[in-house]
Structures are given as structure tokens and as C-alpha cells.
Amino acid sequence: MLAASGWLLLVFACPADATGEPIVTVMRQGHGLYKIQAHALVRASHQTLWDTLTDYEKFAQSVPGLHASHVMSRSGMRCMVRQQWRVSLLLFSYPIDLTVLSVERPPSALEVHLVSGNLKRLDGGYSIEEGPDGRYSVLWDGFVEDSTFIPDLISTAIVRKLAEMQFRGMIAEIERRAIARSEGVRMVPSP
């Protein structure tokens, strides 16, 4: 759902732990409405970060649960991306089909807005901030609203799982690309 701009998640200043492990917070704001914040510290060049966050066509290769991500159109810094997700939780399997508008604001911000799909709302964005130790903070801050009548307990679990899968997948891909570039390895999509 997010992936792309990734889309649905990133955060403001949630402190990352000592290892830089991604932190994802999902807060229910009302029936079906969630505020999602995520944060991670990564060792990568700014260019690697930006290239990964805007490589919409390759999201499905690195983000768990995302089966397809295709650029439908691009006009300057605005990109329409269609994404197809499947989130499984216990006995439930929930398909998510979205078209999002990604608005690129180089060098440090990427907005994501729902255009159509089976969510009621998706608004958020990534931001990149350079830290004092050479690492970058990658943040997602946004809202997602489910349009179904799934009970809140189940809906909350699905949104939390999707947010964590998306953000952790994106961070893992950024780190993978940073290592490959530092070692001069030809980029091969992750499994």
C-alpha cells in the first residue's frame, strides 16, 4: 500500500534504537482510520536513498506483500503508480489495489496520496534527514483509512502488518543497494 512512495508510512522523530532497527508505530484514530509513523537510521548515500524511494517499478521485488507496482504516468515530479497488495493475517487474506500519486520534492521529501482503490484514504510521505554520524534518518508520516467494515481489532492488525512489511522492506532494499554500491556490485533485485 505504501510502497512507493512507498507510500504509506513514515514518521517524525521516533528515535531508532542503537542498531538502527526500523520502528513502526500504528495508532488508531477512529473506526478504520490510522496514523502511521515509521523511522529508521541507514548508512547509505543520499542518492541511494532517493533512487530507492523513487524506483516504483522495482518495489514489488523488495517489499513483502506487494505483488505489482507499475508507473502509469509521469509528468515532471508527479508520478501515478498502481500497486497491488495481498496481506494475510491468520485466516484472513486482504487484497489491496491502489493508484497513488507520488509527488517528488527533491532532495528530501516524497508525498504519497491516494487517487483510487479500495482504501478510503492514504496520505503521507517520506522525508530524509542527514544525521550527525553520517547516517540518514528515513521517516514516514501518514494516514490510512480502511473502507471496509472489518472489525477494528482485525483491521488494526492488518494495517500494522502492512505498514511494517512495507517500511522494513523499503529499508532493507536501501541497505542492500548501499552495500552493493559500496562494493561495486552490479545491482540484482532482491528475492
Range of the domain at 151: 23-182
100 belongs to a structural domain: yes
User: Residues 70-84: pLDDT tens digits?
Assistant: 999 999 999 999 999
Query: How many separate domains does the chain show?
Result: 1
Considering the chain, what is the average pLDDT of its residues? Answer: 84
Identify the residue with better confidence: 187 or 125.
125
Q: What are phi and psi of 180, to 5 degrees?
A: -60, -40
The rounded percent of the chain whose pLDDT value lies above 90 is 60
Kindly report the CATH number assigned to the domain that includes residue 90: 3.30.530.20
Confidence bin at 183 (pLDDT 50/70/90): confident
**Burial call 151-175: b when 16+ CB within 10 Å, e when fewer:** eeebbbbbbbbbbbbbbbbbbbbbb
What's the mean pLDDT in 140-164? Answer: 84
Q: Is residue 92 part of a domain?
A: yes
State the pLDDT at residue 186: 57
C-alpha cell at 137: 534518518
pTM over 0.85: no
Query: How confident is the model at residue 131, as a pLDDT?
Result: 84
Supply the pLDDT for residue 101. 98
Is residue 190 assigned to a domain?
no
How confident is the model over 96-123, as a mean pLDDT? 95
Assigned domain for 9 exists: no
Rg (CA), the chain: 16
Mean pLDDT of the 142-157 span: 82
At which residue does the C-alpha cell 534527514 appear? Answer: 129
Which uninterrupted H or E stretch holds 107?
A: none
Q: What is the mean pLDDT of residues 148-159?
A: 78
